[in-house]
Structure 1
Amino acid sequence: MDHERARERLVAHLDEQGRIEREATREALLAVPRHEFVPASQQTNAYDDRPLPIGEDQTISAPHMVAIMTDLLAPNPDDSILEIGTGCGYHAAVTAAIAGTVRSVEYHEALAESARERLSKLDYDIAIRVGDGHDGWPEHAPYDGAYLTCAAPDIPETVIEQVRPGGNIVAPVGRQQQTLVRARRRADGGLDRETHGGVRFVPMQGE
């Protein structure tokens, strides 16, 4: 399979569907080899626009959803970004192709370890810690933005506190019925929220 051609066709399809708004997002999706982030049994499906299983009852998000969330986060080259839910590392790699620094928290130790090995092999400098995403990663706060790759009843307060005023937080919010939310943190610590349609993500682990 010609993975590069398949990736180009996927991004062209997302463009035709109006799924990509920012050129930086488009370039990141073209640059990151999604086939390196899926199990061997899913290689032929790597550039389908749909979620795929990665183990531990988790999935790699559909490329159009990664594109939408990356556009909404709108990271800049000097930004420090917090990700909650490393999974296989694909979404972090797309973010890292744009942002200056990405730090990611993963609940499942096995997924965190395999993501570290994979990202290191592909020369992505992304820090990963095993822990409860509800706690964020306070040692390196404040962040310029944050996002969740798993659904929470609401954006964790600790994550909000770790994002600097003016920063975006993108997250699927809800339990059975989930909505994609972009929230911008105000100087008073509150959030200005926008909703961007219904979504379906695996639930956030931890407390």
Structure 2
Amino acid sequence: MEDSYRTKGLRKRLVEELMEMGINNETVLNAVGDVPRHFFLDTAFLKFAYTNKAFPIGAGQTISHPYTVAVQSTLLEVERGDKVLEVGTGSGYQTAILCAMGIKVYSVERQRSLFLKTKKLLSKLKYDAYLTYGDGYKGISGYGPYKGIIVTCGAPEVPKSLLNQLEINGKMVIPIDKEEGVQEMTRITKIADNQYKEERFGKFRFVPMLPNRAMG
């Protein structure tokens, strides 16, 4: 895999586009500028890697728009060294962005084929994240509580098991189903045990969160 002057230049243009769209968190922008998105795409989409579009990655999943990744990463309001749970590893691009921000990432993926592929890729690229194959509704309780939780798929509701893994004053960023195929980006801040503040940040489109069931 090669990260050429051309792809670095395309990332710089992508960062400029995100700034024009209202992203102003320098840590997030620097991470987008550092992480080679084309490494996380199938070869058929390489020439479109730095456009603000989502693409299929197999197993019925997609890699999110760079804008969506930047929005979720910004809304987490985390700092270097903070611990974040990611629900839905997918291609690993969002994972890599968080790692580039200096975050300690714990990520769970439901699709075994994606888990195996992405674990190998992130290791090769030296992004140090803890990845596991499991049920996203259950999170990874053994490493909690977390300063932030990011859900990268459309959820019909907020899983209580994930709220329980959020530390006090921590934030969960989760797209909640609003209508068919459309979610509302929601940030939930844990004020105290069983006390939460909700904020909403507009409509987005995600693949659905898989039903809460026993692993196959």
Q: TM-score higher than 0.5 here?
A: yes
What is aligned with 2:70? 67
Runs of 4+ in 1 over 6 A off after TM superposition: none
- Of 8, 13, 18, 1:14 maps to 18
Where in structure 1 are there 5+ consecutive unaligned residues?
Answer: none
1:99 Cα shift?
3.6
What is aligned with 1:96? 99
1:17-166 correspondence runs (5 A):
17-18=21-22, 20-166=23-169
- Of 195, 204, 210, 1:205 maps to 210
1:206 Cα shift?
3.1
User: TM-score, normalization: structure 1?
Assistant: 0.96
What's the secondary structure of 2:192's corresponding residue? coil
Where in structure 2 are there 5+ consecutive unaligned residues?
Answer: none
What is aligned with 1:196? 201
- Of 6, 9, 13, 1:5 maps to 9
1:13 Cα shift?
1.1
Q: Report whether the alignment pairs 1:169 with 2:178.
A: no
Q: Report whether the alignment pairs 1:182 with 2:187.
A: yes
Number of aligned residues: 206
Q: Distance in 2 between matches of 1:100 and 1:9?
A: 25
Q: Distance in 2 between matches of 1:206 and 1:99?
A: 31
Q: Alpha carbon RMSD of aligned pairs, Å?
A: 1.1
1:151 Cα shift?
0.7
The share of aligned pairs that are identical, in percent, is: 37
1:85-140 CA deviation, whole Å, 9 max, x = no partner?
00010001101111431010000011011111110111101111111100000110
What's the secondary structure of 1:11's corresponding residue? helix
